Amino acid sequence: MSQDVIGILSDSHGDLAAFDAAYELLRAKGAQRFIFLGGRYTDLDEWILDRRERSRGGREYSGADFIQDVARWLAVTEQKPRPRSLSLGDDALKELEEDPLLVREHFLRTPERDSLQYRDPSIPRKMLDMVGDTLCCLVHDKNDLSRDDLVNALVFIHGKDSEPKLVQIGPRYFLTPGRLAGAAEQTCALLEREDRNLRFSAFRLDGSVILEPQLLLLDRRSKLTIK
């Protein structure tokens, strides 16, 4: 059984309906946390706002809603952080279903070059994440990867590609989920951990498989360098 299932989305470019469809599809396939690689950095925030509005039945945001939101955020910040490597339990998954505000806590995201966030020094252009004991580097445009990135990580997850791909170069793997907007097919992907292995697959938004599950045979003898 998979111990860690990660949903990967990219390049939504304002298509919140596609974003929502991909999220629901990946969650139905067992995704417990998510990576959004940009292609409009703020789409995650706008999708959450849209999801909140739908959860209120479209009624206008009120003072009571504000007080409830503040209480929820205070409750979240007072909780001990949940380790990324652990699977979410049934209670946590139900919490995500019922409270759109908490969904953001289970997303990592990276900005694209033409966004304001890309120029904000407080927002990283690339992120590192551990999937099991494998170091992954997340970035919207793989051309932003540096020599140090290529030395340190074994798996690179990027956007800005028209279709899902898994490319191996030496001991390293480059994964992309394809695009949610602006391509012939709208696609998203899953990265799953099974024991010490990783498996990558991709889907159209109707749930059909566009890239069959592929195993990443990782050479963990590569050493991490820290500068």
Contact present, 44 and 38 (Cβ < 8 Å):
no
Helices (H), the chain: 16-28, 43-55, 63-78, 90-98, 147-152
Q: pTM for the full model?
A: 0.80
Euclidean distance between the first and final Cα of the chain, in Å? 37
C-beta atoms surrounding 88 within 10 Å = 16
pLDDT for 8 equals 98
Helix (H, G, I), strand (E, B) or coil at 10: coil
Two tokens, residue 35 = 């990576």
What is the structure's pLDDT at 65?
54
CA dist 147 and 132 (Å) reads 24
**Tokens 């030395």 -> residue:** 151
CA pair distance 140, 126, nearest whole angstrom: 8
Q: Which residues pair with 188 in a beta bridge?
A: 203
Residue 197 is predicted with a pLDDT of 85
| Residue 55: how many other CB atoms lie within 10 Å | 13
Tokens, residue 94: 């139900």
User: What confidence score (pLDDT) does residue 39 get?
Assistant: 93
- pLDDT (0 to 100) of residue 101: 64
Q: Are 209 and 203 in contact (CB under 8 A)?
A: yes
**Cross-strand pairs, 33:** 6
Name residue, tokens 């590192």.
128
Closest CA to 142 of 183, 110, 185: 110
- Encoding tokens for residue 67? 């007080």
User: 18 is written with which tokens?
Assistant: 């596609």
3-state secondary structure 62-78: CHHHHHHHHHHHHHHHH
Q: By C-alpha distance, which of 41, 45, 22 is closest to 190?
A: 22
Q: What is the pLDDT of residue 80?
A: 46
Tens-binned pLDDT, residue by residue, of the chain (227 aa): 345 899 999 999 999 999 999 999 999 999 999 999 999 999 999 999 888 887 665 555 555 555 655 555 555 455 544 444 334 444 554 544 556 667 888 899 999 999 999 999 999 999 999 998 899 999 999 999 999 999 999 999 999 999 999 999 999 999 999 999 999 999 999 999 987 889 999 999 999 999 999 999 887 554 433 33
Per-residue pLDDT, 83? 40
Domains of the chain: 4-216 (3.60.21.10)
